[in-house]
Amino acid sequence: MISNWEYTLNKRVGDMEENIVTLDSILVKVKKQGNQFKLNPAYKTIRYIEEKEYRQDVYKYVEPNFIASYIKTNVNPRFILFSAPGATGKTALAKYICHTKNGIYWDLPENKIAEYSFQGAITEAVGFENISNFMQSIVEGLNFLVIDAFDEAEAGSGRSGIEFFLRDLNNVTSGSNNTCAILLARTESAIFIKEFFEKNNIPYGHYEVGYFEEYNSKTYMRNKLEKCDVEISSVVNECIEEQFKEIHRIFPRNGAKEFLGYAPVLDALAASYNKERNTVNLLQSISNGEKNCTIIVKILDDLLNREQNKFIKALKNKFSKNKIDIKWEEIYNREEQIYRIIGMLLFDDSTLFAEISKEIPVEYRDEYLEVVNTQLPQHPFICSKDLKSRVVYDFTGPAFKDYVIAYGLAEVATSDFVNEFFAQNVKYCPSQLLVEFFELFSGGNVKGEQVSLMYNSFKAHAQLGDSSALRISGDKEEGYVEFVLMRNGEETLNIEFAITNIDKGIYISQLSNCYIDIEGKVYVGSVAGEARINNSVIICDELIWSSEQILIEAYSPGKCILTAGKFNNITPNINPRFEVKTDKKANLRVSASNLGNYYKLLGYKDDGKFEFDYSVYEEFSNIVRRIFSCLRSHSKDTPARKMDFIDNRIVNNNEKKKDILKFLLNEGILYTDEQDWLYKLETDKLSTFKIMWNNVKNGDFESLRDLYDKYVSVH
């Protein structure tokens, strides 16, 4: 359950349509500056955005909707904060502002953030002798900073690092009446930044980066094509119009607006353009009501098919003088292309995973690889950047990257390698597409070590006012993970996976509004960054601390409960540094057999009886929550769970729990199936007692009042 302060900072102000503003109006007091300082060209963290970089990375900026979230009308904001869901063009916005107004771009995740790193980075950029003049120019409004990717920086440096940075930035600019810096972050990180501003009474403005209006979406696509040297003719415009028309057919009413306003979707549509209008034909074959992700996958699959045909044509030409009998459809298929892209872009070796088809005779394999080496760098999923006389290859955009990564994570041949790569690369912040692609490619299965990455992707769906939740339950035989997005008080998205290797443990670094109840191990954090547990519940056999720094937050009305058979450390005999933040000591409850080894947590000890150490109402509610949270629904089946799981893991011969379970069965809220091996939820009974099932699972017990009153009346 989220805290009161987080709810207040996260909620939208007024009607969204009434608060739409333009970028010019936001930046009205930010004047274009000159290049006053010679920045260290070898230090890429802080730099001006020159024409070449702008043309290469942005080309022509197209303005999305901006929604005003917080503005003090009588105060000039010292800081302007832009927040957005994942992959909605925050970096393009940052570079556009820098390019047009000569702001100084700061790529925050480029270096690890810690105490005094703010001054250290400035010194590295301008030189020690110029640091005082540089700071003064920021305060006086003669220069301003555009600080990008706070969310990525948080992943690598933790919230404590971000707080150090914000504190130093505030100290340096204190007293200024000018806009000193523009900050960009994903929604969740932006809420934390707002909290810092509010607590320190810092004047700021907050705006949410929205999606494109449809006319701007079309402009964005035309710019993409123009950048790829496609002449924007009447044929091109007609093709774009037909694509949009078909998408409106697939998504009736307002469903197409957000889909067509999302930049990665437009990237895919632009990349798929050709004169034969294959994409229009493809869209015409898609039935009404298809999921967003399914449509993008079909577009990207179609691109891979086209690339295969181009490759076969080139190979046939190379082999034209040789009489070779080859099943061409088995050459350079989807799997081989993706394996080669993973090898090339992640491991700098396109041959690492991809095997040459047995259809190619051994004596012709060198020639085959010559065609691969010519075609692969020109693949529509890959873009090239010319950096100081060397070419660097990257993914064309977020949709292409997350498609390839999801495929690699789902495939046995590449899964462990890709997992390991991203365990070391904390700068990767997936878009919301990753978890949706992965759901399709994996068949609804996930490994315990992949949960953290999927959770980060799922949270990228969040807009201002949304809340996300993670629920995991399981025993040694089976486990499930469920991601839930709430918008305007309703569940708008739910993605569920079966955990295939629960015996290996669950790995997660950043927990907020999470509920984990498993028979096994939970690894919290990673060696690469700080771990954070916010208003979450973890119940497990063994909780293993995997970060050097652990931040635990428990704010009303939520609670944080950590109950394990024992605690352990990823580094033997070295305890992590714990920082606890709570408005009420009782909001944090910790239990483990060896808790005495963790002196920082001893003050929150509760002996593993968290369900009972409250009022009778909360005791009742916590037990109901544990039962509700473990119920799983498959397809259209009613939510259910094996009786053995509830009887042995949750009730476990406890008389109070037995009594509450019996009450739920007597009232018909739970019932047993014909085979007498499942407890099932009678959803009609929930409405009888006015129970909000999702609210209860999220720790909001208000809707259990009627049920509790009935429980009291029969006891």
What is the average pLDDT across 538-551? Answer: 93
Partners of 80 in the β-ladder? 182, 205
Cβ-based neighbour number of residue 692 at 10 Å: 16
Q: Any idea which residue has 């067509």 for tokens?
A: 260
What is the average pLDDT across 517-533? Answer: 88
Nearest of 81, 66, 85 to residue 398 by alpha carbon:
85
In a domain, 554, yes or no: no
Instruction: Please tell me whether residues 140 and 59 are part of one structural domain.
Output: yes
Instruction: Please tell me whether residues 146 and 259 are part of one structural domain.
Output: no
In a domain, 685, yes or no: yes
Instruction: Please tell me whether residues 113 and 226 are part of one structural domain.
Output: no
**Helical ranges in 319-429 per DSSP H:** 334-347, 365-375, 398-410, 412-424
pLDDT of residue 74: 59
Helix (H) or strand (E) holding 226: helix 214-227
As given in the structure block, the two tokens for residue 675 are: 């085979």
Instruction: Please tell me whether residues 53 and 93 are part of one structural domain.
Output: yes
Domain extent for 177: 4-209
pLDDT at 586 over 70: yes
What is the average pLDDT across 605-624? Answer: 72
According to DSSP, the β-strands at 549-554 and 577-582 are parallel
Q: Which amino acid is at 310?
A: K
Instruction: Please tell me whether residues 108 and 183 are part of one structural domain.
Output: yes
Supply the mean pLDDT for the chain.
86
Q: Of the given ranges (12-21, 307-316, 361-370, 517-526), which has the lowest mean pLDDT?
A: 12-21
Instruction: Please tell me whether residues 632 and 682 are part of one structural domain.
Output: yes
- The model's confidence at residue 4, banded by pLDDT at 50, 70 and 90, is low
As given in the structure block, the two tokens for residue 60 are: 């022509």
Q: Please state the pTM of the whole predicted model.
A: 0.81
Q: How many residues does the chain have?
A: 715
In a domain, 518, yes or no: no
In the chain, the largest separation of any two C-alpha atoms, in whole Å, equals 90
Instruction: Please tell me whether residues 48 and 189 are part of one structural domain.
Output: yes
More confident position, 527 or 150: 150
Is the distance from CB of 375 to CB of 366 less than 8 angstroms?
A: no
pLDDT at 55 over 80: yes
What is the average pLDDT across 249-259? Answer: 76
- The model's confidence at residue 270, banded by pLDDT at 50, 70 and 90, is confident
Instruction: Please tell me whether residues 373 and 325 are part of one structural domain.
Output: yes
Give percent helix, percent strand, percent coil of the chain, each to the nearest 5: 45, 20, 35
In a domain, 577, yes or no: no
Is omega for the bond preceding 398 within 30 degrees of 0, making it cis? no
Name the domain boundary from 174, 192, 209: 209
How far is Cα 239 from Cα 247, in angstroms, rounded to an integer?
A: 12
- DSSP letter, residue 228: T
Q: Which amino acid is at 255?
A: G
Q: How many domains does the chain have?
A: 3
What is the average pLDDT across 391-415? Answer: 91
What is the average pLDDT across 499-511? Answer: 91
Percent of the chain clearing pLDDT 90 (strictly above) = 42
CATH of the domain at 31: 3.40.50
Instruction: Please tell me whether residues 127 and 242 are part of one structural domain.
Output: no
